[in-house]
Chain A
Amino acid sequence: MERLLARRTLLALAGLGGLGGSALLAGCGSDAGGDGATTINFWSYYEAAARGATFADLAKQYETDNPGVTINLNLAPQNFNTVLRTAMLSDDRPEFLGLTQYNMRDFANAGLLTDVVSVLDDAGISSDIYPAAVEAGKINGTLYGIADALRFGMWFYNPKALDAAGGTQPTTYDELAATAEKLRAQKKYPILFGLKDLSSASNSFQVFVPAFIGLTATLAAAEAKDYTGQAFVDALTMYRTMVDDGILDASDTGMAASDAQALLASGDAAMYPSASYSIGTLVDLNPDFKAFDEPVKLTPNPVATYWGGAGQMYCVTAGTKAEAAARKLLTWWVKPEQLGVQVEKSGLVSSLKSANQKIPANSLAAFAAGNLDKVDPEGLFYNNYVPSSHAEAWGRAIQEVVSKAKTAEQAIETTIQPAVAK
């Protein structure tokens, strides 16, 4: 038997050699950096459609100013979390990253990211950057990421659609329900989130958490792996109530985010509670979008009235060959000249005060920038602080509640608790 095996191994090697043709292609997969040249792989969760052109221009500019450096952009491949984790664990890990806070936390705790606090001084932004943007990147006192933007929660609306229903901005739940009724009479959807996409579903929860729960309670629940508290039940029940009152539509669970945004742009849907990160996309679809002066108070006594958080965290991977080059890129990338480009092109509210001076007055971004200090810690984005599996489970529970498959209690018990208990 051993003799057979030994022969088999030998011949197996010969057999594999016969597959040499495909072996030649093996080199075509991974990046081959030339001699003396540095390649920086830059991965970001921003979508190519929204930010592709801007990033490409910036990358090209850096390459011109720094000959020998090549930047490979990889913007939001689908299943970004999965793909990113695979990459970070291979020898092929990207050197420069644009991450969510939670991914940053995961990787930092696994020792995959380096400390970037010196970059603040090197880039000269220590006094320019909002303290909140710095805090967002700190874990146990070490700075692992520099936020590119701060976000402010907003209720967007299509003016033409809302005018058809009387045009007043609702401020309480009852006013919202009344407005919804008028919109329904006009055959319009009052609010669409695009709940078929799991990420839209879990992101929509950011509107409800500050009203009912707050960040402290969320973090405690995540820690205890127990979301069965009444506040969570109430928040989830609110979705169902809104469906029953005609504010939300059960068919939302069959619409992708892009569908919802298209219907908003065309005026078939009126309102879109979200945050300033949506400004760029919405304005591209329809420049007439506006935002409510005040968010609608879903409950009489919300835990936090305003919500928001940090944007994308720029991080440098530890231990790669191009780490120094990536650090240098980061120092350049976070300067006001560069972050400011996004202010102009993407309707971003920058993490840098000087960049925000470029925001055109009377724009949605200006509105957000002017209100940043209203966000209190209880209103920070919940899914920047809990594991992505928890956020995904909430998204599923929301789908079940809105499609009326389950009540809030059932959804929490059967969809969320099993997922978070692992």
Chain B
Amino acid sequence: MTETATHRRAARTRRLTGTIIIAAVLGIVSLATVLPLVWMVFTSLKSPAEYLGNSWGLPLNPQWSSYVTLFTDKNFGRYFLNSLLVTVPSVAAILLLAAMASYGLVVSGVRSRGRILMYFVLGQMVPVTAIIAPLYVMLRSMGLINNYLGLILTNIAGAMSLAVFLTYGFFRAIPREIADAAAIDGAGHWQTFWRIYVPLGAPGLATVAIFESLAIWNEILVVILIMQRNDLQTINVAVFQAVGEYGTDVPALFAGLTVAALPVIITYLIFTRQFVAGLTAGATKG
């Protein structure tokens, strides 16, 4: 009996050692991961003069002036608004169109379904970088450069491939009997779509929503291509493009970066589980 007790104690000690090691490793890696961001925030609280003297230590005299000028002088409120004006309609339209297309696929015949699905998936092979020249020429001739609609439509087009694929995956799992029952009760297709498929497919739509929201909010290349006027740029592009204006004022730049990063981080911390599920759905389903 004592042998079992000894075994158990040894096993517990082994497990404790393991825990300590794991905690230490994870702790160090987490610290290293977060360090650049911490540096970013610290620097944003220093004055430019202090930064020159003390570029990597703690701020001795924290001040918020850099943040204030972001909104008074540097138009950050406008950039933030632009990001919202682009992201919200884009994602709303993507969800609507992907859901409708998925329902269309559910209802369609088997052969055309396969072909149409293939057509959508084909788009994954075409990255945005492969189409910027004609896209630019096309949008310019339609007057959609420097235009919210141009950016929104481009976002929708770029997202359709993955969004339809993911949404269809979710819609397909909804049992046909439910839809058939509704049809017997006299529901038309639009009602079936709106009252059955959309609610039941909501988790899938939420997944797509999170994935696309993040992608569109963080987008750089397409925004640079289409929104070429300063006052129309989204916050992430503004931060990058406006470097000339910050020049030697690193605290001001970092304040800008912090403001650009904060909404996403806060949303993530609140909705962590949904975020993670949404971002990885693309991979596991793809």
Contacts and interface: CB of A to CB of B under 8 A. Distances in A.
Interface of A: 15, 18-19, 21-23, 25-26, 28-30, 47-49, 74, 76-79, 82-83, 86-87, 89-92, 256, 258-259, 261-262, 265-266, 285
Nearest to A77: B230
B89 A21 contact: yes
13 contacts: A22-B149, A25-B148, A30-B146, A49-B245, A86-B136, A86-B140, A87-B146, A90-B140, A90-B145, A92-B143, A258-B244, A258-B247, A285-B248
B149 A23 contact: yes
Contacts of A82: 228
Contacts of B93: 19, 22
B16 interface: no
Contacts of B243: 78, 256, 258
B152 A22 contact: yes
Contacts of B244: 47-49, 76, 78, 258
Nearest to B147: A29
Contacts of B143: 30, 90-92
B52 A29 contact: no
Contact of A87 (B96, B136, B228, B242): B228
B229 A74 contact: yes
Nearest to A26: B149
Given A26-B148, A77-B230, A82-B228, 4 more contacts: A22-B89, A22-B152, A262-B247, A265-B248
A22 B145 contact: no
The residue among A21, A23, A25, A47 with the most chain B CB atoms within 10 A of its own CB is: A25
A274 to B, nearest CB: 16
B140 A29 contact: no
A77 B241 contact: yes
Nearest to B52: A266
A28 B85 CA distance: 11
Given A25-B89, A86-B228, A48 B245 contact: yes
Interface string B150-194: 101100000000000000000000000000000000000000000
Nearest to B244: A47
Contacts of A74: 229-230
Contacts of A91: 143
Given A29-B232, A258-B247, A285-B248, A78 B149 contact: no
Contacts of B153: 22
The residue among A47, A76, A90, A265 with the most chain B CB atoms within 10 A of its own CB is: A90
A90 B144 CA distance: 10
A28 B148 CA distance: 7
B150 A29 contact: yes
A74 B96 CA distance: 37
B117 interface: no
Contacts of A30: 143, 146-147
Interface of B: 52, 85, 89, 92-93, 96-97, 136, 140, 143-150, 152-153, 224, 228-230, 232, 241-248
B248 A262 contact: yes
Given A74-B229, A77-B229, A29 B148 contact: yes
A92 B146 contact: yes
Judged by DSSP, the binding face of A is helix
Nearest to B151: A29
A77 B228 contact: yes
Contacts of B96: 18
The residue among B144, B147, B241 with the most chain A CB atoms within 10 A of its own CB is: B147
A124 to B, nearest CB: 35
A25 B149 contact: yes
A7 B114 CA distance: 21
Contacts of B149: 22-23, 25-26, 29
A29 B245 contact: no
Nearest to A47: B244
Contacts of B246: 258
Nearest to B141: A90
Nearest to B230: A77
A91 B52 CA distance: 47
Contact of B146 (A15, A18, A19, A29): A29
A21 B86 CA distance: 12
Contacts of B92: 21
Contacts of B97: 15
A56 to B, nearest CB: 12
The residue among B150, B230, B246 with the most chain A CB atoms within 10 A of its own CB is: B230
B88 to A, nearest CB: 10
Contact of A261 (B147, B232, B242, B248): B248
B102 to A, nearest CB: 15
B66 to A, nearest CB: 15
B140 A89 contact: yes
Contacts of A48: 244-245
Contacts of A18: 96
A86 B143 CA distance: 11
B245 A22 contact: no
B145 A86 contact: yes
A250 B21 CA distance: 43
A236 to B, nearest CB: 27
A26 B247 contact: no
A25 B224 CA distance: 19
A22 B148 contact: yes
A26 B147 CA distance: 6
Contacts of A266: 52
Nearest to B150: A29
Contacts of B85: 25, 28
A74 to B, nearest CB: 7
B47 to A, nearest CB: 14
Contacts of A23: 149
A188 to B, nearest CB: 15
B233 to A, nearest CB: 9
Query: Closest 4 A-B residue pairs measured CB to CB?
Result: A29-B147, A258-B247, A26-B149, A262-B248
Contacts of B242: 78
The residue among A47, A83, A256, A285 with the most chain B CB atoms within 10 A of its own CB is: A83
Contact of A83 (B140, B144, B228): B228
B55 to A, nearest CB: 12
B77 to A, nearest CB: 16
B247 A49 contact: yes
Nearest to A23: B149
B170 to A, nearest CB: 22
